[in-house]
Amino acid sequence: MARRTASEKAATHERILRHAARSFRKEGSAVGIGEVMKDLGLTHGGFYRHFASKDDLLVDAFSLALADVAERLEKAALKAPAGEQLRAIITTYLSVEHLAHPETWCALATLAPDMSRLPPSIRKRLESALVAYMERLLAFMPGRTEQERRGTFLVLISGMAGAIALIRVFAERETRERMLDIARGYYLKAFSA
């Protein structure tokens, strides 16, 4: 119960951010500040030493979540043999693992509607995070020009996010996996053939 060193503060800031990025993806952006802090063994009052408001945390957490997924997908692509990189991105994105773990995977599939309801002033920061997401994966997208590759990213990622979001509404494991197979089959054929 006293002042912390600068590096301790930075570590706490990051812990709040990382945990919020998971909680919002898992349970939605209605998760309270009190709950996030409590999960970390902290009290709610201290939150405002780290973020100006909940909206401020939301934007940063959404941005971190997007960067996190971009990194995961990039790693999956880089691990794949040459020519199989886009295939790796698609099978990683449309996986049972992704379906079952919203808290560590794509924020677009869980939070896109919440993102679009944030105040416009703050949404600009989210747009940057989305552009960064795209930039990170652009090299793996098919297309002759950069414009084409951007278009491919838009259609492919938003399409797969929509598929994950829809499939998650269904409860039965069997139904979900059948739908996932259909979607994966389509995107592999349409984008990586």
Site of interaction with a second copy (CB under 8 A): 27-28, 30, 108-117, 120, 123-124, 126-127, 130, 151, 154-155, 157-163, 165-171, 179, 182-183, 185-187, 190
Q: Which helix (H) or strand (E) holds 21?
A: helix 6-27
Cβ closest to DNA, residue 43 vs residue 128: 43
Q: How far is the CB of 43 from DNA (least distance, A)?
A: 4
Pick one of DNA, a second copy, none as the site partner of residue 143 (Cβ within 5 to 8 A by kind): none
Pick one of DNA, a second copy, none as the site partner of residue 67 (Cβ within 5 to 8 A by kind): none
Buried-exposed string 26-61: b where 16+ CB fall within 10 A, e elsewhere: eeebebebeebbeeeebeeeebeebbeebeebbbbb
Cβ closest to DNA, residue 15 vs residue 150: 15
Give the distance from CA 76 to its chain's centroid: 15
Q: How far is the CB of 58 from DNA (least distance, A)?
A: 9
Q: How far is the CB of 49 from a second copy (least distance, A)?
A: 27
Nearest 5°: the CA angle 23, 184, 189 is 145
Cβ closest to a second copy, residue 46 vs residue 151: 151
* Interacting residues with DNA (CB under 7 A): 1-6, 8-9, 12, 31-35, 37, 41-50, 53-55
Q: How far is the CB of 65 from DNA (least distance, A)?
A: 17
Cβ closest to a second copy, residue 76 vs residue 164: 164
Pick one of a second copy, DNA, none as the site partner of residue 114 (Cβ within 5 to 8 A by kind): a second copy
CA–CA separation, 110 and 160 (whole Å): 12
Q: Contact 127/116 with Cβ under 8 angstroms?
A: no
Q: How far is the CB of 118 from a second copy (least distance, A)?
A: 9
